Structure 1
């Protein structure tokens, strides 16, 4: 393995958490808690190197991991911190293949930081990429599974040391159903690791550069705050995002359903959007944005609420009445825009049969 890459320092963790929260489209777990766990590991002497795909040859074995469950549970039920490590070790025992590197299932939210925390414990590097370029609520919604990752073995682990391994599993949808059911029994959140992948597959199916993308977005927010620049304006430029709406949250409906946090946020417009009303459908993440009943954006494109003045990303479990927000949109990666991918992560996959993605893509 090459020594290419970038060593994550404590000073990187706040920008990384902010960038992951933006890319998380409201989900992926609370990034602040993930930042705190990782900070303590680094302060204790752990070192984690972020490496590009070219740093490993085709014989290397890579495991993808992240948390599974509802974001609101992740705030109320604090992790022990080694759940994903236990799931990883279970798969290494099952397959007989030791990990050469880790990669995030999703760069969004706390899950963008989770592989760094686990790598710090396991002494492994983390690949600069992920399987979503954002966050999605279901296990099968990664470019890894969409483009051919094995459905098993996979494992989930909880904060009490319980580990459940799934092998064999016939489809990625079955894996989602089984893992979700076990996660509910584990209290609504758990750590998960999926089947090992080779680097030739990673180079074909993963989204490259998303860790450094999150760092770049987060650093722009931090720098704009420090220099008293217009944070929203800076964020739009650096993230290559579009301003979709501004206003104040007037209502939030949220409930736990089938292991997911589902609901709707309502926003009364202001400024250029005065007199307009927006609503955002939520299933862990923000899925669809309507303005006055017209679809403005939808999955797999990224829809994110940020606090208007500070650019602070507002995850779905923290949306509340009265918040002044800007809603921004980012186009999804091309790997998420193919017909094959849209069958898994497009509007119809979430039950929005009447929304055509190609008509509303950013």
Structure 2
């Protein structure tokens, strides 16, 4: 299928939701993608099955603290310079690109590369949402190497990373992003077509498009955008359960940029009842507690949204007094596997709780 300019806002809206609060606000990526379409035309979106086994497929996205990205804007050249360096290293032309994570601005990051290189975007990603660290991708969970990877910054700086393991790669890349001003673009986990087909999370780009379109269409016909969002998520099959967890106003917020991450906690007081929700985040929302009881936890999605517009509020945009709804959704099944939970489950973030699926924590659907 072709991604036309008219579809970009839907993709941005859906990717913002799937970021679970992280991945960066997609606004600037949306502007760059619109400009790219004006120059070269629509984007081609292909399925994993359409990839030749020997193709060179390049996942890409941004690394750093989303709070920095609000003020330190991309120049649009970071993606392409990193991909062209990867081609030189591998000695092969890139055949397709994909988002390393579908969430937030990173869900749109490959669009610029696709436009400039004239290659398609693959309907998949490496996380099924957004996570704060590079080694939390499904490609690392499936024992694929992040290297060679290329990091580029708006100033023109470029670095190639080769490490002996993917955790070392994350630490080196994180420190480098801090040195480059707090945020940088990274091409990582270069894949063959066969590796992408065997390991990537399929259908996530089209799922973002569908959820974004559902919200827009609900507004157009005067329907409830949250009910439409939850139903659209279920229909994707990739996110089979969705529920509105809470409705209230932000009454407290703690947030700081630390070690290349945006970390903190938001407190939401409920409307018309003595209810309160607390959400802890590290770039992404990690755990939600309603009146002290866990109602959603990573890797399941937790997204704070404007209660009137159903626009996602990423963690760097949270503010005191915002009136919000909190929506939770089941993560893709690949992220709930036992091995995957060691990388993306609550214990991976230092949370002292076991993973319990959101549909078990919330057996009565109140969406």
- Verify same fold: TM over 0.5: yes
Unaligned ranges ≥5, structure 1 = 1-5
What's the CA shift string for 1:294-339, capped at 9, x where partnerless?
1111100000011112111111111111111111111111111111
Question: How many Å separate the matches in 1 of 2:116 and 2:40?
Answer: 10
What's the CA shift string for 1:208-242, capped at 9, x where partnerless?
11111000000011111111111111112112311
**Cross-structure match for 1:3:** none
**Cross-structure match for 2:207:** 213
Question: How many Å separate the matches in 2 of 1:312 and 1:104?
Answer: 21
Alignment equivalent of 1:144, drawn from 139, 146, 149: 139
**Cross-structure match for 2:6:** 11
**Cross-structure match for 1:323:** 322
**Cross-structure match for 1:342:** 341
The answer on whether the counterparts of 1:184 and 1:259 sit within 8 Å (CA) in structure 2 is yes
Offset at 1:360? 5.6
What's the CA shift string for 1:274-308, capped at 9, x where partnerless?
21111100100100001111111110000001111
What's the CA shift string for 1:24-72, capped at 9, x where partnerless?
1111011111111100111123332000011122111101000111111
Alignment equivalent of 2:221, drawn from 214, 227, 244: 227
**Cross-structure match for 2:294:** 295
Q: Secondary structure at the match of 2:211?
A: helix
What TM-score do the two structures reach when normalised by structure 2? Answer: 0.94
Question: How many Å separate the matches in 2 of 1:19 and 1:206?
Answer: 19
Question: How many Å separate the matches in 2 of 1:129 and 1:226?
Answer: 29
Does 2:252 correspond to 1:254? no
The answer on whether the counterparts of 1:65 and 1:192 sit within 8 Å (CA) in structure 2 is yes
Question: How many Å separate the matches in 1 of 2:128 and 2:307?
Answer: 23
Q: Secondary structure at the match of 2:252?
A: strand
Question: How many Å separate the matches in 2 of 1:185 and 1:235?
Answer: 39
The answer on whether the counterparts of 1:232 and 1:309 sit within 8 Å (CA) in structure 2 is no
**Cross-structure match for 2:265:** 264
Alignment equivalent of 2:195, drawn from 183, 201, 211: 201
**Cross-structure match for 1:39:** 34
Question: How many Å separate the matches in 2 of 1:52 and 1:245?
Answer: 35
Question: How many Å separate the matches in 1 of 2:354 and 2:58?
Answer: 34
The answer on whether the counterparts of 1:91 and 1:195 sit within 8 Å (CA) in structure 2 is no
Offset at 1:162? 0.7
The answer on whether the counterparts of 1:19 and 1:217 sit within 8 Å (CA) in structure 2 is yes
Question: How many Å separate the matches in 1 of 2:6 and 2:358?
Answer: 38
**How many aligned positions are there?**
353
Offset at 1:359? 6.5
Offset at 1:97? 2.3
Q: Secondary structure at the match of 2:136?
A: coil
Deviates more, 1:83-92 or 1:107-116: 83-92
Question: How many Å separate the matches in 2 of 1:45 and 1:151?
Answer: 30
**Cross-structure match for 2:109:** 114
Q: Secondary structure at the match of 1:327?
A: strand
Alignment equivalent of 1:356, drawn from 354, 357, 366: 354
Taking a change above 3 Å as real, the CA distance of residues 46 and 114 of structure 1, as seen in their structure-2 partners, is same
**Cross-structure match for 2:183:** 189
Q: Secondary structure at the match of 1:213?
A: helix
Question: How many Å separate the matches in 2 of 1:20 and 1:265?
Answer: 22
Question: How many Å separate the matches in 2 of 1:26 and 1:135?
Answer: 8
Question: How many Å separate the matches in 2 of 1:142 and 1:301?
Answer: 15
Q: Secondary structure at the match of 1:239?
A: helix
The answer on whether the counterparts of 1:67 and 1:84 sit within 8 Å (CA) in structure 2 is no
The answer on whether the counterparts of 2:278 and 2:289 sit within 8 Å (CA) in structure 1 is yes
